[in-house]
Structure formats: C-alpha cells, structure tokens
Chains A and B, each alone.
Chain A
Amino acid sequence: DADVTQTPRNRITKTGKRIMLECSQTKGHDRMYWYRQDPGLGLRLIYYSFDVKDINKGEISDGYSVSRQAQAKFSLSLESAIPNQTALYFCATSALVGSDTQYFGPGTRLTVL
C-alpha cells in the first residue's frame, strides 16, 4: 500500500463550489505539506504543518485553507473554487529529523469550470 495517499485522484467542479482534498500518510511523519503544480511553474507551496497544532502559510495560500485533523491527516480546502485554481495538487510528508526528504502522494488533478 502507498505510504502517502490522496483523495480524490481527479475532480471536476464548478466555480463557487467548496471542495476538500484529503491526504493521509502511514509513514509516521510529523511534517506535512500541500503543493500546487502548474505548467511552466513547477511546484509551489500552499501550506505546511509541522505537527497537529502547527499550521503555516506557504508561498500561495490565498484562496485556500487547511486542517490537520491528526498526525496522519492533512486536508486542503478551497472555500469557493475559481478557474485559476485548476491545477495538480500534491501532498507531501517528511520526518522531523534526519534528511527531511519529502515524500509525495500521487497527486489530485482538480479542474474548476
């Protein structure tokens, strides 16, 4: 089974709808991240969390919110989706110590019409 899972894998929604993307991990990592991938821009950090009580904004947090429900779960919400939020979204995790290499989930393709 995959260490980092994301649901849904693909989603099409309409402008103005609220949508939640979920991430779960079995790696036992404390740190979790949400990135967005757009063509020609690479991946950009939306939010990150170092533990359940710690949430931090990344480079492009406007229009997004997150919830760290447990050590293993980190959700990303779009309160009112807009077309320019159409992108590939990745969740990632890393350990508190050591190399801190980030391990990515399989991604969620989100299309906002």
Chain B
Amino acid sequence: AQTVTQSQPEMSVQEAETVTLSCTYDTSESDYYLFWYKQPPSRQMILVIRQEAYKQQNATENRFSVNFQKAAKSFSLKISDSQLGDAAMYFCAYRSWSGGNKLVFGAGTILRVKS
C-alpha cells in the first residue's frame, strides 16, 4: 500500500520570504499523480498544484512550485514571496494511475506566516 509522509508538523515563514514543505511517499508503481492541497481555517480543501509522475518538468502555479524527485520519491512544495493568506494546513497526496483513483494523504503541515 502506498504511504505519504510529511515530516514537518509545523513550519513558519516571514512574510515575503520563501518556504519549502517536504513530502515523501512510498510506492512500487511507476505511474501516479501527486498533489498539494491547502486547508485554510475555513477548512475548505483547495488544490494548490498537481504533478504527473511521467512528466520530468516540475509543476508551477504562480508563487507555488514543486521539486519532484521521482527516484528519491520526494515531492516538496516551495512557496515564494509568502503572504499572510498562505497560512494554512498543507496536505501532500498521492493517487495511483490505476486502482480506483483514491487519494492517499499525508498527515499535513501547518504553515504559519509572520508579518
């Protein structure tokens, strides 16, 4: 079974600075998707970014980018120019290419942004 590990329960960043959230996963599959979801205090789950494992290029969405290291099974999220609105819980998630499209989530990282 696949597992997703987020080793940082909490992180802090100064406004306008850059922060990287870590995520590792365990799988024997070669094709899969990886996601980062954001959960602000409103508790809504918001998709931040997604990466297909067959793509070597790292995904980017505005200030959010990933460092996808397939061999190392690592999928970190970099937030540049951090803003107060980035404060939230961030979840890393894995989805198999096959096997029912189920998401496997990590435990989450709380990101605090200091002004």
Q: List A residues at the B interface (Cβ < 8 Å).
A: 31, 33, 35, 40-45, 48, 50, 56, 58, 88, 90, 92, 94, 99-104, 106-107, 109
Contact = CB atoms under 8 A, between A and B. Distances in A.
B56 to A, nearest CB: 18
Interface residues of B, number: 22
B45 interface: yes
Given A33-B103, A48-B101, A92-B45, 9 more contacts: A43-B45, A44-B105, A45-B103, A58-B102, A99-B50, A100-B101, A106-B42, A106-B44, A107-B43
A104 B111 CA distance: 21
9 contacts: A42-B106, A42-B107, A43-B93, A48-B101, A88-B43, A99-B50, A101-B47, A101-B50, A106-B44
A47 B112 CA distance: 32
A90 B93 CA distance: 15
A92 B93 CA distance: 14
B85 interface: no
A103 to B, nearest CB: 8
A101 B44 contact: no
A8 B15 CA distance: 36
Contacts of B33: 99-100
